[in-house]
Structure 1
Amino acid sequence: MVNPHSDIRPAAAPDHAERPAGEVPDAAYLFDLGQRVRRIRAIRGMSRKVLAQVSGISERYIAQLEGGMGNVSIVLLRRIAAAVSMPVEDLVMDASDDWAAIRRMLRSAAPERIARARQILAGQGLPLDSHPQPIPPGRIALVGLRGAGKSTLGEIVAGRLGWKFLELNREIERSLGLSVTEIYKLYGQDGYRRLELASLREIVAGTTGPLLLATGGGIVAEPLSYELLLSSFHTIWVKTSPDEHMNRVREQGDLRPMANDSTAMQELVTILTNREPLYARAEAVVDTAGRSVEQSASDLAMAIATLRK
């Protein structure tokens, strides 16, 4: 583990810091950098403890960095960026989700498509697809943090409608013959996200007829995957309260990625808070807090019926 450097102040960073008015530019930038690291970590679903284990940087150092309490070296930023599976430039600058998705598309695009995209951005011609295909009314995807009820409700409602039901995580497991936990151990979060995108592309291209898809809670952390989902499915955010999330996850015996963490609830709230703007891009919301499975299934069926109109 890397110990805090001499240019990091000894006090620990607060969880919800506020930038003081009138700060000098350098201090303000370091504050924003720390908050950006904290937000990205939360969206990735990583506690400080997990980030420390993956990056090899001490948990105390990460807490100080997130509080903007020192000048971090580029070497340690690279290690943090690798641990959260994103380019280091996204840590040092406030890049939008659109830019992150476009950059990933550019990396795999053919030269002629890149040239055409440059023409479009320069105002020379129509978009590559000026008339995008509408999303079929019988293609619905459920998003939300694990424990909200996506799989349970999705299977029930799909059965009632006579639709095909798929869980994206199960499709990834089936393709490799490994569990999600084993995939994370072997390939890390970055490898898992690549497999998630590949499986989603297969489902989009190869599935016909009505389909209800339950996605993993972290799909919103990968801009390219989430953009593909939003453009290929009508989406519903299945949500619940933090207490119910935690209780259901404990009942499932799955605390990943917060296992053995005494601050699990605090981290869960942080993840929910930072992912909410991403989940909120869904077209409809079903809140299962305080609702029975039967009531929530009826709510989901009603939301699907509304989206199909």
Structure 2
Amino acid sequence: MIIDGTNKPAGAADKDPLLVGLGQRVKLLRARRGIPRRVLAEAADVSERHLANLESGIGNVSVLVLQQVAQALGCSLAELLGDETTSSPEWLMIRKLLQGRSQTDLHTAHRALADIFLEGSNAGQRNERIAFIGLRGAGKSTLGQMVAARLNRPFIELRAEITRLAGCGPMEIQALYGSNAYRRYERQALEETLQNHKSCVIATAGGIVSEPGTLDILLRHCLTIWLQAEPEDHMDRVIAQGDAQALHKSGRREAIDDLRLILESRAAFYAKADFSYNTSGKTLEEAFAGLMSAIAAHQPMIVA
């Protein structure tokens, strides 16, 4: 039985709303970055059980532990607590200006700020590059290669570019240097790809949306397509690729539940793509034909 700071049993009925919200925030940030709980616990120098309690909203947690978790996640303590917009008068004024606005208004504001602070490219240049985003197993690599061949454009697997830059694979990068280092290599790989290829098709890793700055670059320089699939299809395809580690040690159901959580944490970012296409329930040939039709409907000049 877990006892909290008040010496009362911590059950579902008496969970503190603040602790529950904090736990959900930690879990979503961890899922968005694709970091297993065990890895985050090691990076934060806390026990995996203590981290599990934090994510579950039970027990109490010190500010120092929260700071360690925030550092391991590569975010500020304010962001971990859910509010990073209190650091300056400018942040507060911007937040007040945007508070209560519709999603359409927020999108307009974001594009205006991006035009001010980010190097952009025109619509014609964007259409010369197609980038696929989405969870692993959606078909980014397989369909990406087929689209590249049809359009006679180079196909770029961003994970391969990351490996080339780092001298080791993504798993080794994260194990040796941490997820933040991996995200830096990922951004560098994307920037070099955009610099070296005026026309190409790019397959990104599922977690590229974890770093908003990298996602901004992708959206501004590429026609971006979110490839979707049902969680069960994601799992079956990854296993078919020979990755038995995709199965959760507690079973298939837990692994699919993890996928759903990752998708939940990233869905709003994936939705920033120009459009989405669902590959579930289709043969490879049907998925490819449907995808090409969707690209043609969105940008006829690409397949003309």
Asked if TM exceeds 0.5, the reply is yes
**1:286 counterpart residue number:** 277
Quote the residue 2:40 is aligned against: 51
8 Å CA contact 2:120–2:221 kept in 1: the answer is no
Matched-pair identity in %: 40
Runs (5+) with no aligned partner, structure 1: 104-120, 122-126
Asked whether the 8 Å contact 2:33–2:210 carries over to 1, the reply is: yes
Following the alignment from structure 1 to structure 2, what is the Cα–Cα distance between the partners of residues 235 and 295?
Answer: 21
CA deviation profile, 1:249-295 (whole Å, cap 9, x unmatched) = 12223366776454322211111122111111111111111111111
2:172 maps to: 182
Bigger RCO (CA 8 Å, 6+ sep): 1
- Contact between 1:143 and 1:236, CA under 8 Å: does it hold in 2? yes
SS of corresponding position for 1:289 = coil
Is the 8 Å Cα contact of residues 173 and 180 (structure 1) preserved in structure 2? yes
Q: Which range moved further: 215-224 or 129-138?
A: 129-138
Q: 2:143 aligns with which of 136, 144, 153?
A: 153
Give the structure 2 partner of residue 34 of structure 1.
23
Q: How many matched pairs?
A: 268
Q: Secondary structure at the match of 2:136?
A: coil
* Cα distance in 2, alignment partners of residues 223 and 129 from structure 1: 14
Compute the RMSD of aligned alpha carbons: 3.0
Matched, 1:299 2:290: yes
AA aligned to 1:7 is G
**Residue 7 of structure 1: which of 5, 8, 13 is its match?**
5
Q: TM-score, normalised by structure 2?
A: 0.78
Tell me by how many angstroms 1:238 deviates: 0.5
The question of whether the paired residues in 1 share the 8 Å contact of 2:238 and 2:246 is answered with no
Equivalent position of 1:269 in the other structure: 260
Distance 1:250 1:155, change over 3 A: same
Deviation sequence 1:23-53 (CA, Å, 0-9, x none):
9xxx443332222112111212234344334
1:81 corresponding residue in structure 2: 70
Q: Tell me if the contact between 1:50 and 1:258 (Cα under 8 Å) persists in the aligned partners.
A: no
User: Would you say the 8 A contact 1:173–1:179 is kept in 2?
Assistant: yes
Equivalent-residue separation in structure 2 for 1:289 and 1:187 (angstroms): 36
Q: Does the 8 A contact of 1:144 with 1:238 survive in 2? A: yes
Task: Please state how far the C-alpha of 1:299 moved relative to its aligned partner.
Answer: 1.9
1:205-241 per-residue CA deviation (whole Å, 9 max, x = no partner) reads 2212x21111000001111111111111111000111
Q: Say which SS state the counterpart of residue 202 (structure 2) adopts.
A: strand
Give the structure 2 partner of residue 215 of structure 1: 204
Q: Which whole-Å CA distance do the structure 1 matches of 2:196 and 2:42 have between them?
A: 38
Scaled by the length of structure 1, the TM-score of the pair is 0.76
Query: Shift in Å at residue 11 of structure 1?
Result: 4.3
More helix by share: 2
Distance 1:54 1:252, change over 3 A: farther
